[in-house]
Amino acid sequence: MKGVIGADFGSDSCRVVLVDTHSGEIQATATRFYPRWMDGKYCDSEINQYRQHPADYLDAFEEAVVEMLQAATPSQRAAVVGIAFATTSSTVCLTNVDGTPLALLPEFGENPNAMFALWKDHTAVQEADEINDLVRQWPVDYNKYSGGRYSSEWVWSKVLHLLRKDESVRKRAFSWVEHCDWVPNLLCGISNPNERRYSRCAGGHKAMWHKEWGGLPSEEFMRKLAPDFSGFLFRPYQETYTSDTPIGTLTEEWALRLGLSTDVKVAVGAVDCHVGAVGAQIKPGVMVSVVGTSTCDILVAEKDQVDASVVPGICGQVDGSVVPGLIGFEAGQPAFGDLYAWFKDLLIGPFEQLLPQADWLDQPLRERLVKEMSEQMIPWLTAEAEKLPVDAHTVLATDWINGRRSPDADESVKASVTGLHLGSNAPAIFKALVEASTYGLKAIVERYVENGMAVNEVIGAGGIAQKSAFVMQTMADVLGLPVKITKAKESCALGAAMFAAVASGVHVSIDEAQETMGQGFSKTYYPRKEYAAIHQIRYQEYLKYKK
């Protein structure tokens, strides 16, 4: 019996699972939140700045693994042979010449520009526009496999912005690193940018890497883009690896810190939702939608099916980025659950501000009221919204509360709510927001299908898929497709465990790992035909707001 660890670094926390490689049994699990992030440090929502300290990642990961292994039996701990990682992306940080993230140096410990810029950081819109302008003039179309437009969420936009923003950071910066490349290489004792093994998934989808032009964009392109910043800084690698590839084994230091053996193999990292699609048992013709604060919508296809076709307006298509040997496609929405959370905060915010003025309540009672209101608001809105009829002429919303990622990325678009009247109430608006989020998903599915990709069913993964029957039934109704819910509560961590099983030699392929370790499905939502025509009318109205 062999065990593997899958680690999933999400937006708020690190989740780890210990999985039996033959039965698929989840033997132990643990979660640790990022302490600085939870304190709200280094972020400014007014300017879309979201930064995370690299120490948060290391602290949360170590504590989570130690806690998880304490819950396992001695034989289970001794049986661990591999570990693999899924992280948010593009979550990128500038490093010094040794490959150390600048925020880990004492002089930059509190400087947000020296930290990882989280995937949803949109401070680099201007830089993205400059990149797209230059690509249009360049003889090589570096956006060809990135949906035709480079995003402010991705590597080059963020790196260029951070360098321009902060002279002190610029003077010390030598290279950059994605979160999914930094942690697994670090655990193997590799920090030198020249020696790391880099992710095919992150490089292909976020950094314009492609074999067609020999790897990353050329030095000439980078010099033209940023004449003030030349050299190795922009091109730390040209080769990438799929996530079934081992980097090495744990160093003595990390083996001791985690309570594992130095024989444990560490796999190449990858983007969380791509790994989650593997954990949800993705196959050709099946789209996996990882539904949480945002969504990532993943397809895979045989190479001969894709041929030379390119799907415009998505986040990319890369050979081996999801399942080695297949073409992986990514699209997504930058706000899904975040749209609902925004509305909840909009309703509760004034209450939280006014409550301290109620001096007839003691502080513990105030805190309890706020906590209970916050926890009960979404369930209450859901229950009330479910009672409302599906009507073509009720409140209509768009979902671009954090811009649009797919199809046709545009960070400048804004969300809207129309059709309000004096009878409009909170559940009606919430229902419109749920519909808007699923209309955004329908636009993605249609873009895939229009370009020859088969989408026969959807697998829902992530927190909302597991928890909200209302949202998932609405999704099935809007898409006109069955939506299956994976049993795996931590599909990203489970997918990472599958990659660890292949990288450590327990299984020969991802297909075999999925077959052996997959958790199956808990429920299927089928589209209700009586609502199809109504949603089609509303969807066409939704599209009128898309520019």
Tens-binned pLDDT, residue by residue, of the chain (547 aa): 899 999 999 999 999 999 999 999 999 999 999 999 999 999 998 898 999 999 999 999 999 999 999 999 999 999 999 999 999 999 999 999 999 999 999 999 999 999 999 998 999 999 999 999 999 999 999 999 988 889 999 999 999 999 999 999 999 999 999 999 999 999 999 999 989 999 999 999 999 999 999 999 998 999 899 887 765 566 778 899 999 999 999 999 999 999 999 999 999 999 999 999 999 999 999 999 999 888 989 999 998 888 667 888 888 899 999 999 999 999 999 899 999 999 999 999 998 888 888 888 888 888 888 899 999 999 999 999 999 999 888 999 999 998 898 898 887 899 999 999 999 999 999 999 999 999 999 999 999 999 988 999 999 998 899 999 999 999 999 999 999 999 998 899 999 999 999 999 999 999 999 999 999 999 999 999 999 899 999 999 999 988 6
Could you give phi then psi for residue 541, rounded to 5 degrees? -65, -40
Three-state DSSP class for residue 150? coil
Task: Please give the Cα distance from 490 to 24 (Å, whole number).
Answer: 13
Task: Please give the Cα distance from 415 to 116 (Å, whole number).
Answer: 27
> How many alpha carbons lie under 13 Å from residue 371 in its C-beta half-sphere?
6
Residue 468's pLDDT is: 95
Q: What residue ranges of the chain are covered by domains with CATH 3.30.420.40?
A: 3-280+490-507, 337-487+522-543
Residue 546's pLDDT is: 80
Question: To which residue do tokens 């992030």 refer?
Answer: 37
Spatial CB neighbours of 176, under 8 Å, sequence gap ≥ 6: 92, 93, 94, 95, 155, 159, 233, 236
Task: Please give the Cα distance from 396 to 227 (Å, whole number).
Answer: 47
Tell me the two tokens of residue 460. Answer: 């829902």
| Contact of 184 with 242, CB cutoff 8 Å | no
Residue 81's pLDDT is: 98
Residue 283's pLDDT is: 95
Of residues 290, 287, 538, the one with CA closest to residue 433: 538
Checking phi first, is residue 477 left (phi over 0); if not, alpha (psi -120 to 50) or beta?
Answer: alpha
| Contact of 327 with 389, CB cutoff 8 Å | no
Distances (CA, A) of 412 to 120, 206, 438, 546: 14, 19, 20, 12
Domain 337-487+522-543 adopts which CATH fold? Nucleotidyltransferase; domain 5 (3.30.420)
Rounded to 10 deg, the angle between the 363-386 and 469-479 helix axes is 30
The number of beta carbons lying within 10 Å of the beta carbon of residue 66 is: 15
Mind giving me the DSSP string for 65-96?
Answer: HHHHHHHS-HHHHHTEEEEEEEE-TT-EEEE-
Residue 363's pLDDT is: 86
Distances (CA, A) of 301 to 146, 207, 459, 526: 16, 22, 16, 24
Task: Please give the Cα distance from 202 to 343 (Å, whole number).
Answer: 32
Of residues 207, 165, 180, 242, the one with CA closest to residue 499: 242
- Domain 3-280+490-507 is of which CATH architecture? 2-Layer Sandwich (3.30)
Distances (CA, A) of 386 to 389, 439, 452, 484: 8, 17, 35, 20
Residue 100's pLDDT is: 96
